[in-house]
Amino acid sequence: MSPTSPTSRRPAARLALAGALMAGAMTLPAANAAADALPELRDPAAAAATWAAGRLTEGTHAGGDHGLTADIVLGLAASGTAGDTADRATDWLAENAADYITRGGGEGTVFAGGAAKLALVAAVEHRDPRDFGGQDLTATLLGRLQDTGRFTDAGTTGDMSNQFSQSLAVLALERTGDVPDSAVDFLASTRCADGGYPLSLRRNPDRCTSDTDSTGMAVQALLAVGSTADAEPALDWLEGRQREDGGFGYDAASAPNANSTALAVQALAAGGREDAARRGETWLRSVQVGCAGAAADRGAVGYTEPVANGLALRATAQAIPALAGQALGEIDGASSAPDTEPIDCTPDDGSAGATTGQPGAGGAANGADADGAANGNTSDGATANGADAGATSGTTTASATTDGAATDGTTDGGTTDGTTATGGASDGTTGGSTSTGTTTSGATTSTTTTGTGPDGNLADTGSSSARPLMAAAALFLLAGCAAYLIARRRRGNT
């Protein structure tokens, strides 16, 4: 028989066929890996805005929490979406402005941080700060300006104003052209020797303790009014405190969290520190529930991990402007699209995936309770008696921090109702909150149960279950081929 005859080529052909099938069986999982991998969120800021808008009670407020509702309005405006929802939420804030400014203390009581935050929201939404729900917010703030240039509270509980109060007042009054030079000078004068800014506004250089949140707020206010020279040392300080993964903790001892990182990213972006801002934004995306998460949770930004639990609404609200690359002094809701954007999880080729619409509103979602204590903390508290932040390290009480307790991380300053700190003073949602997201007053949570993948997103739940099936199918095919070859050989031998 010739070496090149058809009969002599059959064993080689059969061997080649078997080898090809075996190779196919071994490479099927790899070949389908790309198909299994879910896409990234097309627009992280818009997705976060859509998720947050869907958590508003009756589509208007965050479970009665004024500060958190204001943060969500600012976030929606920064995303350029959900303009109608922002309008409704702003209407609610206007209707309840008196309660927020006085903190329920009645006439003559002024919470400067709350008044400043409402004034900023009014300016962003192109409402009149001089007549916001019948309140002249501009006059209220200027009426609390001391000769030193500091904005203070007025009330029976004493002065609890802090760096958030000062920074928000400067940001708000800059929008209307009413910011006094003395207010800016006072803010700049509070900088610590290391370049950062403290929470407490008490004059005690020996106890001037810089923290991420206060520095992020102060830098945004200073840059908004053009005080770049006073902001540069603080920007250097922020860059020096950034972790290798891009995130920021409230202080050097605390783990990175979304609220502190967001404020730092906004400040860095406004100050032209693009690389550091980009790294921080990447960290924020790593704790955002992506397309691998449950459809109802997609877009939410977790406090320290991509989980839509009781801390997520406040974390998401503050993260939206950072994800959108906008500082507080730049947000403008005038041109926002009226509706939320669907959360797009469709692959680029359009062959698979899903688009998630806005979740239905209703109920105080994700831990926001009816009395305004959302996610284990209030968004309108203040430091106890304006005490020095330098004494706060590791000192908290069950319902409020003492000695200059940190802010609530929602950009209006305050004590942390029911949130403890790990390794330092807690800001409620910054600085290591230990809350597990337990809700109160009928509030709902939406906690994902899948783990986190190596990229920071939820585990790729759509791929692991399919691969064993594909491998089994390949093995069945290979076994069938082997049986066919054996049968052919037997027939050839008879």
- What are the tens digits of pLDDT across the range 205-236? 678 999 999 999 999 999 999 999 999 999 99
Q: Which residue has the tokens 């993964």?
A: 245
Name every residue whose Cβ is closer than 8 Å to that of residue 429 and which is 6 or more positions away in sequence. 257, 258, 259, 303, 311, 314, 315, 318, 375, 377, 408, 409, 410, 419
Q: Burial, 420: exposed, middle or buried (Cβ in 10 Å; 0-12, 13-18, 19+)?
A: middle
Tokens at residue 292, please? Answer: 């691998």
* Confidence band, pLDDT 50/70/90 cuts, at residue 168: very high
Q: Which of 81-90, 239-248, 471-480 has the lowest mean pLDDT?
A: 471-480
pLDDT of res. 288: 98
Helix (H) or strand (E) holding 486: helix 466-493
* Three-state secondary structure call for residue 464: coil
Taking the C-alpha atoms of residue 49 and residue 166, their distance in angstroms, rounded to an integer, is: 27
Phi, psi dihedrals of residue 344, rounded to the nearest 5° = -90, 115
Asked if 90 contacts 60 with a C-beta cutoff of 8 angstroms, the reply is: no
Q: For helices 112-124 and 66-79, what crossing angle results, to 10°?
A: 30
Backbone angles phi, psi at 216, to 5 degrees: -60, -40
Q: What pLDDT, on the 0 to 100 scale, is given for residue 141? A: 98
pLDDT at 399: 33
Q: In whole angstroms, what is the distance from residue 14 CA to residue 22 CA?
A: 12
Give 375's pLDDT tier (boundaries 50, 70, 90): very low
Residue 487, Cβ neighbours under 10 Å: how many?
Answer: 10
Q: What is the DSSP string of 96-131?
A: THHHHHHTT--TT-B-HHHHHHHHHHHHHTT--GGG
* Cβ partners under 8 Å of residue 306, min gap 6: 286, 287, 288, 289, 290, 293, 300, 448, 452, 456, 457, 458
Phi, psi values for residue 439, rounded to 5°: -100, 160
Query: Residue 39's pLDDT band (boundaries 50, 70, 90)?
Result: confident
Answer whether 367's CB lies under 8 Å from 311's CB: yes
How many residues are present in the chain?
494
Count the alpha carbons within 13 Å of 321 in the hemisphere toward its beta carbon.
Answer: 36
Q: Which helix (H) or strand (E) holds 130?
A: none
Higher-confidence residue: 427 or 258? 258
Of residues 384 and 50, more confidence is placed in: 50
pLDDT score of 391 more than 90: no
- Nearest residue to 314 (alpha-carbon basis) of 408, 446, 412: 408
Phi, psi of 300 (to 5 degrees): -65, 140
pLDDT per residue as tens digits for the range 88-124:
999 999 999 999 999 877 778 999 999 999 999 999 9
Q: Look at residue 170 in the predicted model and tell me its pLDDT.
A: 98
pLDDT of residue 51: 98
Q: Percent of the chain at pLDDT above 70?
A: 63
- pLDDT band for position 441 (50/70/90)? very low
Confidence at residue 274, expressed as pLDDT on a 0 to 100 scale: 97
Which pLDDT band holds residue 356 (cuts at 50, 70, 90)?
Answer: low
- pLDDT value of position 36: 54
Checking if the pLDDT of 331 tops 60, the result is: yes
What pLDDT does residue 205 have?
Answer: 63
Which pLDDT score, from 0 to 100, does residue 346 have?
79
- Residue 442, pLDDT above cutoff 70: no
Is residue 314 a contact partner of residue 334, using CB atoms and an 8 Å limit?
A: no
Q: Which residues of 92-115 are buried (b: 16+ CB within 10 A; e: fewer)?
A: bbbebbebbbbbebeeeebbbbbb
pLDDT, the chain, mean: 75
Least confident window among 15-29, 81-95, 175-189, 424-438: 424-438
Q: What is the CA radius of gyration of the chain?
A: 28
Residue 370, CA atoms < 13 Å, CB-side half-sphere: 5
For residue 349, what pLDDT is reported? 55
Given a contact cutoff of 8 angstroms between Cβ atoms, the answer to whether 187 and 176 are in contact is no
CB proximity list for 152: less than 8 A, separation 6 or greater: 112, 144, 146, 159, 161, 165, 386
Residue reference for tokens 């550091």: 276
- In this structure, of 15-24, 250-259, 294-303, 389-398, the range with the lowest mean pLDDT score is 389-398
| pLDDT score, position 175 | 96
Whether the predicted pLDDT of 261 surpasses 80? yes
More confident residue, 252 or 464: 252
